[in-house]
Amino acid sequence: MSISQSGFTNVGRTRFWQRGFLNTQSAYVLAALLVLMAVMSLLSPNFMTSGNISNITRNFSFIAIATLGITLVIITGGIDLSVGSTIALSATITSLTMNALLGAQFYPFPGSVLIVSVAAGLLAAAGVGLFNGVAIAKLKLSPFVTTLGTLSMVRGLVYVATQGRGTFPAGPDKELFLTVTAGKLFDVVPVSFLYLVICALVMWVALNHTAWGKHVFAIGSNENAGRLTGVNVDRVKIQVYVLCSMAAGFNGIIISGWLGSAPANLATAYELTIIAAAVIGGANLAGGGGGAAGAIIGCILIEVIRNGLVLARVDPYWQQTLVGAIIVAAVLVDRVRSSRNG
């Protein structure tokens, strides 16, 4: 195979574990996750029950869609610290719109309030992303500082809009809203998990099978190469920040449906968990690496640890310490592995 392909006898074919998914940090973390789950199920008989699995699934879906979004940003070498605030903003805007439409007696057909409100929430989130993207791509501001600013600005807006009290989904479509955000398919699979799977599949196809995806990776590795080869670097960057904010916004709407409210302090400091999940799953903060599968694996790992500690009756304050240790361990394993490969 190798001889006929290149004509050189000293050029072999890479072995199966040295290429593709198996040669990624995500695969190592997945292996660690499976081991962890096996240990958990031995230690606690409650771990593998359908109720607990359903809980875990729902809980990690809460941050996983935002993690997919931030993974895109991290692949381009950027960062978005404003995702937590954006989650709160879109949840708040969605429920404010539901209340406003209720007040205005707007209800032309069943579901109309839901559609308008969710669209308003996502649009508000997209606005945050557009602001971040334009500031970073066009004005060349640092992603860290820009999104640190929007973190504060957006949270401030949420407090201003609600006077710090939080809001509640209401109106004729309230039941429908709760069903499509916090419901369960066949009483077991949380709908949020279904949305996550759809988003992840779309992201996987976009990253691996479209020119846009290759441009996202190229920008993260060598932005200049992208510019020189005719990639519209600025446009791709703006798109990535808008998608990240919209993913966070969508997550916010789902969370508010499950809580039945949109408190003004919703998702405070979630950006750290979301970034941690992305990094554990193999997104490289230096840019150029990451993927949809890794993002989800990272979220599952964090949630399984949290869940496992609760089941094992360990002081829940250990959770943060452990998640931090795993971030370092995951990056360390990747470092050792890539230095061995040369």
Partner 1 sequence: MALLELTGVTKEFGAIRALSDVSFTVQPGEVVGLMGDNGAGKSTLVKIISGIYQPTAGSLRFAGNHAHIHSPAEARRLGIETVYQDLALADNLTAAENIFLGRELKRQVGPFRFLRHAAMDARAAELFAELKSETRSGDFVRQMSGGQRQAVAIARTRLSDAKLILMDEPTAAISVRQVAEVLNLIRRLKEAGIAVILISHRMPDVFAVCERVIVMRRGTKVADKPIAASSPEEVTALITGAMEAA
Nearer to partner 1, 211 or 336 (CB): 211
226 touches partner 1 by CB under 8 A: yes
Nearer to partner 1, 7 or 45 (CB): 7
Nearest approach, Cβ of residue 326 and partner 1 (Å)? 24
198 touches partner 1 by CB under 8 A: no
Considering only the stretches 9-17, 114-122, 137-145, 316-324, report the one whose residues sit in contact with partner 1 under the rule CB under 8 A.
9-17
Nearest approach, Cβ of residue 29 and partner 1 (Å)? 19
62 touches partner 1 by CB under 8 A: no
210 touches partner 1 by CB under 8 A: yes
Look up residue 105 and give its amino acid: Q
Answer whether 189's CB lies under 8 Å from 197's CB.
no
Nearest approach, Cβ of residue 74 and partner 1 (Å)? 13
204 touches partner 1 by CB under 8 A: no
Nearer to partner 1, 218 or 305 (CB): 218
Give whole-number Cα distances, 120 to 110, 192, 215, 290, in Å: 17, 19, 30, 30
Nearest approach, Cβ of residue 6 and partner 1 (Å)? 6
Q: Which of 117, 85, 80, 84 is nearest to 98 (CA)?
A: 117
Q: Which of 287, 275, 279, 282 is nearest to 233 (CA)?
A: 287
Q: Which of 104, 105, 139, 211 binds partner 1 (CB under 8 A)?
A: 211
Nearest approach, Cβ of residue 307 and partner 1 (Å)? 34
Answer whether 279's CB lies under 8 Å from 271's CB.
no
Nearest approach, Cβ of residue 230 and partner 1 (Å)? 4
218 touches partner 1 by CB under 8 A: yes
Q: Which of residues 261-320 bind partner 1 (CB under 8 A)?
A: 288-289
121 touches partner 1 by CB under 8 A: no
Question: What are the residue ranges of helices labelled H in the chain?
Answer: 2-6, 25-43, 50-75, 83-103, 112-137, 143-162, 174-182, 191-209, 211-221, 223-228, 233-259, 270-280, 292-311, 318-341
The tokens describing 32, both together, are: 């660690």
230 touches partner 1 by CB under 8 A: yes
DSSP code string of 26-86: HHHHHHHHHHHHHHHHHH-TTTTSHHHHHHHHHHHHHHHHHHHHHHHHHHTT---TTHHHH
d(Cα 204, Cα 33) in Å, to the nearest integer? 21
Q: Which of 81, 228, 87 is nearest to 141 (CA)?
A: 81
Residue numbers at the binding site for partner 1 (CB under 8 A):
5-8, 10-11, 14, 205, 209-211, 214-215, 217-218, 220-222, 224-231, 288-289, 341-342
